[in-house]
């Protein structure tokens, strides 16, 4: 199988339960909930997406013929000083990474010394072997992946309320303020919701505050 990658780079995870870890971010092209083009936003299942996942022209992006080739590409971003790769993570995101991430690629990442995380909308069945599963439900899209390490909900959403998900099988429940023109109000609302419902952790997108990818 070949893989289409929008971008790939070394950064620090800025949000959710793994905030602060150094990782290679691997953003796959394509999504199953909308095309990524503004002209189609009104028809999209997820209308608040702010990510460019079209094509392969981003930094570190490209097309890769097989899993080992892509794993070598990801490994090239990891600091050479970290000889044992004890803390090496690759975070697979998108778009929707589950459209392309498969068991062969997960195995290739593991052989290259990486733990593998996915940030998914949860509407597709996931491959075996993942080390961290973060599901972020979108609008009223049917949720297939109902268990994992973290459920990260953008708040507020008209269609999705935190109470809709608290009985699912996740270790961590994160609430992330919707980033739009009303972001300050959304942040206050998410803060107050977490105070009243301590099962939820507040997830702040720290990478946007410090101006890094």
Just list the catalytic residues: 25, 31, 46, 49-51, 119, 207
Contact status, residue 138 vs residue 121, Cβ threshold 8 Å: yes
Give the integer Cα–Cα distance in Å for 111 and 99: 22
60 marked as binding residue: no
Question: Was 49 annotated as part of a binding site?
Answer: yes
Known binder of ligand: residue 180? no
- Does 79 appear as a known binding residue? no
Residues in the chain: 213
CA pair distance 177, 145, nearest whole angstrom: 22
Q: Does the annotation flag 194 for ligand binding?
A: no
Strand, coil or helix: 21: coil
Residue 134 annotated as binding site? no
CA-wise closest residue to 138 among 154, 124, 125, 127 = 154
Residue 58 known to bind ligand: no
Long-range contacts formed by 79-86: CB under 8 A, 24+ apart: 79/10, 84/113, 85/113, 85/114
Six token digits for residue 80: 């050479």
Question: Is 93 annotated among the ligand-binding residues?
Answer: yes
Residue 97 known to bind ligand: no
For the beta carbon of residue 70, count every other beta carbon within 10 angstroms: 26
Q: Which two tokens stand for residue 175?
A: 């609430």
Half-sphere exposure (Cβ direction) of 208: Cα atoms closer than 13 Å:
11
Contact criterion met (CB below 8 Å) for 121 and 33:
yes
51 annotated among ligand-binding-site residues? yes
> 48 among the known binding-site residues?
yes
Q: Which residues are annotated as a binding site for [4Fe-4S] cluster?
A: 31, 46, 49
Q: Which residues are annotated as a binding site?
A: 12-14, 27, 31, 46, 48-51, 93, 95, 136-138, 176-179, 213
Q: Which residues are annotated as a binding site for substrate?
A: 12-14, 27, 93, 213
Q: Which residues are annotated as a binding site for S-adenosyl-L-methionine?
A: 48-50, 95, 136-138, 176-179
């Amino acid at each position: 199988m070949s893989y289409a990658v929008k971008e790939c780079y070394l950064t620090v995870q800025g949000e959710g339960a793994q905030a602060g870890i150094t990782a290679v971010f691997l953003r796959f092209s394509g999504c199953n909930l909308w095309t990524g083009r503004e002209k189609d936003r009104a028809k999209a299942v997820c209308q608040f997406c702010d990510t460019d996942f079209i094509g392969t022209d981003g930094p570190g992006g490209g097309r890769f013929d097989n899993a080992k080739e892509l794993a070598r590409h990801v490994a090239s971003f990891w600091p050479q000083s970290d000889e044992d790769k004890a803390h090496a993570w690759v975070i697979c995101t998108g778009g929707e990474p589950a459209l392309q991430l498969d068991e062969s690629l997960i195995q290739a990442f593991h052989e290259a010394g990486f733990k593998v995380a996915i940030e998914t909308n949860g509407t597709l069945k996931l491959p075996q072997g993942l080390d961290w599963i973060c599901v972020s439900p979108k609008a009223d899209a049917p949720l297939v992946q109902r268990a994992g390490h973290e459920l990260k909900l953008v708040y507020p959403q008209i269609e999705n309320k935190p109470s809709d998900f608290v009985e699912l099988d996740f270790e961590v429940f994160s609430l992330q303020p919707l980033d739009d023109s009303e972001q300050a109000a959304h942040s206050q609302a998410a803060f107050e919701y977490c105070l009243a419902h301590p099962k939820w952790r507040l997830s702040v997108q720290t990478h946007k505050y410090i101006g890094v990818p």
